Chain A
Amino acid sequence: MAPRGGRAAASSGSEDEEEEAGFSRSYFLAKEKEPLSGKKRARAAAGKLSDLNLVDEQVLRASLAEIPPKHKEEVEALTRSYKDQYRNWLFELRCGFGLLMYGFGSKKQLLEDFASTTLTDFTVVVINGYLPSVNLKQVIATIAEMFWDQTKAKRKRQPGTRSQLSQQFPSQSTEDIISFLMRQTSDDVDDRVCLLIHSVDGPALRDAESQQCLAQISCCPQVRVVASIDHVNAPLLWDKKMVHKQFKWSWYHVPTFAPYKVEGVFYPLILASGGHAQTTKTALVVLQSLTPNAQSVFRVLAEYQLANEKEEGMPVSSLYTKCRERFLVSSQVTLNSHLTEFKDHDLVKIRKHSDGQDCLRIPLVCDALEKLLQELA
């Protein structure tokens, strides 16, 4: 090996190892800090959240909106400093790469500024991936419709070619729409679309199917992708094929230190009513999606639990009897199907009663449960 190469390789190797060692060292140091034997004692000795003088959730939310920005000028200057790179970013987009922005801070404003100042030749479609639900099919149908309109307009200009029947994209399957998009080349449509995805690792897009779908769109000839990630483990979302053949990411480290304002809206506040808000909320969402009968079964269980707080839970047999009395279920099978649904969504837990029979318990404290029942009504 060339002398210099050898040295470079060796030095980078030792760096890697050092890094690795550093990583494991800090992990074990962290583990050490919590002595295993005295774990329980340590925790008991440590303070509890309830010891703090927590303000009311409403006050908390009101203050949240009024947090004075720190380093406002510096953050703005930092964001401005990326403006110089816009042209390079555009260049790489034109070369067929996807841009992936990462680093601490909300990149929403940065990317939208980039899009509106530099990507003027593109039609820019924004996906807010930080929202809890995004319908990707709608997105691709919109893009497909745009392309379709252009193709039609083009065909009209060229006499002799008959325009095909209009396409109903929203009613087609995702695969069909994607294969339509794949067929569109610069001959068919003039405009290129840039898909601007905020938090491509966001909660709505974190599943494999969404990522597959995005990966497929990103390799359509007339589509380019600019995306941001926030989570440290985001790269785990993609396999080799997606990274190298579809997304073709070019990474950029662009910390902005801008507050995650919109991105954080859907996260529960850690100091708000000890996290109950979240569970009540999620439980409510699940319950509302169930049939009225199932809701009533849940209500029976909840009322029993509120009335008999000290007990370990409600025996399945007594729940069945109660529900039959109220004509909520006709057989054990129907009840079981409801219970399975509850269990799948963590609405109830099954425990063995001390006398041996299964009993059901809703894993919520009384206050939360009461609140849930009120809201369900």
Chain B
Amino acid sequence: MSAAPCDTLPTAANNIQPFLVLHKAAASSVPSSRAKRRIQTSQPSSPNPKSANRCRQPAGEECEDEGDLELYEQLRVEAFHRTWSKIQSTIDEVLRAINLKLFDQVLQWAKESFASVRAITKPHQTEVQQPYPLLTDVICRRIPTAFVLTKNAEFVDDITTFHDLAEHMKSNGCHVVKLSAAELSAKHGVGGCFRSLLRQLLSDVSDVADVSALASWYCEAENFDQPIIVIIDDLEQCSGDVLGELVMMLSEWVFKIPVFFVMGIATTLDAPKKLLSSEALQRLEPCKLTLGSPSDRLNALVEAILVKPCAGFCISHEVALFLKNYFFRHDGTITSFITALRLACSKHFSMEPLSFLCIGMLEEDSEEFWHDKFESLPQAIRKYAFDLPSSKNANNSNNSCNMLEGLSRLLKLQKDWSSVLLCLYEAGIHDKVQLLDIFCEAVNPDLQTENAPDSYLFASKVTCENLLGVKSGSAKGFIAQVMNTIRYLPMEVLLHVLEVWSIHLKGMSEINDRVKELQSTTIGADSVRVKRRSTASTGNGTVVLNEKVAVLLQDVIRKYLVPVESLPFHEIICFKNVDILQSALIGNPRRMIQLDLLKSQSHLKCSCCRSGAAVSGSLHDTSIMCNLAQEYGDVINLHDWYTAFEGIIKSSNSKAKRKSYSSPSKKKSKATPPEGEGMIQARFCRAVTEMQITGLVRMPSKRRPDLVQRITFGP
């Protein structure tokens, strides 16, 4: 093997080896157990020899700090994993629940198809293994096939859906095989594809894959009385020939070995017609099923992850807006939304020193959890906690009791907030309001100040300032829309809404009582309305009641819809830094690399190059070339480019020379050795090569050896 273990720093040999092992892992250090032990000692910043030992610098206090740093970092990593696994499992649950209806349809279809196949003929086990097909009639050789319309332009969301479908079918006793588009490609051919089918069913597959192996497997008693479902998740990407061949082959056997297809279609039902030959198409007995739309799924996800505090992690208004735009403008896939959220979560735990306290939200006894953690907090981190901007605004007394209180209140208010938000959404559904929209509005810290803050809420200074700038346009919010909707809801719907409210508001007895009260009067009003119907005055009572509900809601919103960002200590659970999220999520090399070169001074911060002025010779060579390239069209004449480059270098050299007479600084003297043509040409060559590596220019073709092609235009 060409890889040799090598502990030294990169050498020349390392550069030309295709791959190498740079170093092996250090003797297994498992800091997690130590961290726990450390935390459990619950003595505030006690000198711990074990943690000190691990430090590289043997310098007393610093060492202690670094030990703590590592410990708490480890805690945060663990907290991230716990939080995210909670969120992930919630996501999985939600998506599965949404798809369950479809899954049951598929299962039903499979059962019915199996029954109908078996109704025509029920071959004996020995018959199945006979090489000759049982029936030769075309009609009887059709494979039941479910086409699942995914309604997604992007396939990536459906990967999990089909994975879940496979699990669902498996758990209901079907044999399931999943074939991907990669397996159904011309490269693998029908042989490779069939082999992978066998591999998923049989424990060991011989090199020669044929149907008889499948037949004999199917005849085993435990396999016999169930259909085999072949799931092809991305039909459009498959090779039509290979799939056609597979269909033809399996259709000959369908009565002996009931193999059914489930095919995911991203476009329309025309797809199989376009893909398969008419002969193969004839062998399929289609059935059409449809998945839910992405925005339904998004609403459900937002409710489960963002609105209900499922994991103690939440996002700020700006981040919420960013995520919303990212979903609607980027590609509209749930997957990218989840990726963004996950990145936000990891950034939060990575940047916020106290973020490990988040998981306290998940604990049964949060207060006790926090209490324990506080006791062992080192002084530095404690100080940090009380220096958080939000906690400064709220209180000035620094003790853990205070912080505990703050966090508990945070937890409580978050719960109330989410209940109220759900109530709002329940009413908003009737006006097609999306949950994500209301959510974004409800996390807006300006909202709270708008709603005339009650004395016990802590309006931060920042939000007040923000308010000044934005208040004017606030009338047309989604929340206002919901309020409006409530005023015009018909009685039956209103009743239903109230009913759901009383479920959402279970934890808030005071409000729930008021809802109950309204419900009872509603019933009264209802009867009044029925009585009055004959007199054709359309329910004066209803209007009053709608108004009452609206007033209640307004009241509740004012009191309880407190955005997390206006609460003390919210920094601990709330991720706010939208810029960092954006830069980590969406890299833009095309733009950034050009900007790097065009504005190299801003990165290098050198004293020699002035920005704004004409291209100076002291700039990075490639930067000069890139600047020069801006002058050209989509092709660059090498001769001219070189001449311009040479001119700049020479002029700056002569300037430098002149200067060096007066002030022979060390730096200048380095650059002064007379640069021959060779050197300038070499520098030109290297700059072109670097631009080629970064993909800014393309090499000259053989036909036009004097011209290189520019690929990027304008950063």
Contacts and interface: CB of A to CB of B under 8 A. Distances in A.
B346 to A, nearest CB: 4
B685 A3 contact: no
Nearest to B694: A230
Contacts of B690: 259-260, 264
A324 interface: no
Contacts of B25: 120-123, 190-192
Given A4-B466, A30-B634, A55-B681, A127 B9 contact: no
Nearest to B471: A3
A127 B18 contact: yes
A49 B325 contact: no
A253 B689 contact: no
A104 B633 contact: no
A276 B585 CA distance: 43
A102 B9 CA distance: 22
B19 A27 contact: no
Nearest to B609: A71
A23 B597 CA distance: 17
B680 to A, nearest CB: 9
A142 B1 contact: yes
A191 B706 CA distance: 53
A363 B447 CA distance: 72
Given A3-B473, A95-B77, A245-B335, A31 B14 contact: no
A94 B583 contact: no
B308 interface: no
B382 interface: no
B21 A104 contact: no
A233 B477 contact: no
Contact of B590 (A68, A232, A244): A232
Contacts of A53: 677
Given A55-B678, A135-B18, A244-B336, A267 B692 contact: yes
A132 to B, nearest CB: 9
Interface in A142-173: 142, 145
Given A23-B713, A264-B693, A60 B682 contact: yes
A112 B590 CA distance: 25
Interface in A47-89: 47-49, 51-55, 59-64, 66-68, 70-71, 74-75, 77-78, 87-88
Nearest to B3: A142
Nearest to B617: A70
A61 B694 CA distance: 21
Contacts of B673: 68
A32 B619 CA distance: 28
B640 A271 contact: no
B493 interface: no
A235 B350 contact: no
Given A30-B632, A232-B589, A250 B584 contact: yes
Given A46-B640, A74-B604, A102-B592, A109 B156 contact: no
A36 B360 CA distance: 69
Interface stretch (A6-14, A284-292, A313-321, A353-361): A6-14
Interface stretch (B97-105, B248-256, B436-444, B507-515): B436-444
Given A1-B476, A32-B633, A97 B343 contact: yes
A78 B14 contact: no
A95 B81 CA distance: 7
Interface in A256-300: 257, 259-260, 262-264, 267-272, 274-275, 279
B681 A54 contact: yes
A221 interface: no
Contact of A3 (B81, B159, B474): B474
A126 B20 CA distance: 5
Given A5-B444, A116-B9, A103 B19 contact: no
Given A248-B339, A270-B699, A271-B684, A257 B600 contact: yes
Given A60-B678, A240-B331, A257-B620, A2 B594 contact: no
A373 interface: no
Interface string B629-641: 0001111011110
A312 B194 CA distance: 52
Interface string B67-102: 000000100110011001000000000000000000
Interface string B618-648: 1111100000000011110111101100000
Do most interface residues of chain B lie in helix, strand or loop, or is the interface mixed? helix
B124 interface: no
A35 to B, nearest CB: 9
B477 A363 contact: no
Contacts of B28: 190-191
A109 B447 CA distance: 49
A341 to B, nearest CB: 20
Contacts of B350: 88, 91-92, 95
Interface string B686-714: 10111011111001101001111011111
A342 interface: no
Interface in B330-384: 331, 333, 335-336, 338-339, 342-343, 346, 349-351
A213 to B, nearest CB: 12
Contacts of A41: none
A112 B22 contact: yes
A124 interface: yes
Interface residues of A, number: 123
Contact of B472 (A3, A94, A122, A231): A3
A253 B639 contact: no
A49 B693 contact: no
B441 A123 contact: no
A127 B26 CA distance: 20
Interface residues of B, number: 128
Contacts of B711: 232
Contacts of B241: none
Contacts of B594: 232
Contacts of A259: 686, 690
Nearest to B580: A88
Contacts of A12: 325
B458 interface: no
B213 interface: no
A48 B706 contact: yes
Contact of B22 (A26, A116, A131, A250): A116
A9 B335 CA distance: 22
B605 interface: yes
B188 to A, nearest CB: 11
A328 interface: no
Interface string B658-691: 0000000000001101001111011111101110
A111 to B, nearest CB: 10
B206 interface: no
Contacts of B14: 126, 128
A232 B684 contact: no
A100 to B, nearest CB: 6
Contacts of A260: 689-690, 693
Interface string B576-613: 00000001111101101110110010011110100000
A9 B682 CA distance: 48
Interface of A: 1-9, 12, 22-23, 25-27, 30-34, 43, 46-49, 51-55, 59-64, 66-68, 70-71, 74-75, 77-78, 87-88, 91-92, 94-95, 97, 100, 102-105, 108-109, 112, 115-116, 120-128, 130-131, 133-135, 138-139, 141-142, 145, 190-192, 196, 204, 212, 229-235, 239-241, 243-245, 248-253, 255, 257, 259-260, 262-264, 267-272, 274-275, 279, 363
16 contacts: A1-B440, A3-B471, A43-B637, A71-B620, A112-B10, A116-B22, A116-B23, A131-B18, A191-B28, A231-B693, A231-B694, A233-B695, A240-B155, A252-B584, A270-B685, A270-B689
Smallest CB-CB A-B distances: 9 pairs = A26-B714, A251-B587, A47-B639, A33-B633, A63-B682, A104-B596, A34-B633, A240-B156, A3-B473
Given A23-B714, A47-B706, A67-B679, 12 more contacts: A1-B437, A2-B317, A12-B325, A55-B677, A55-B678, A60-B678, A67-B683, A104-B600, A121-B25, A124-B21, A252-B584, A270-B684
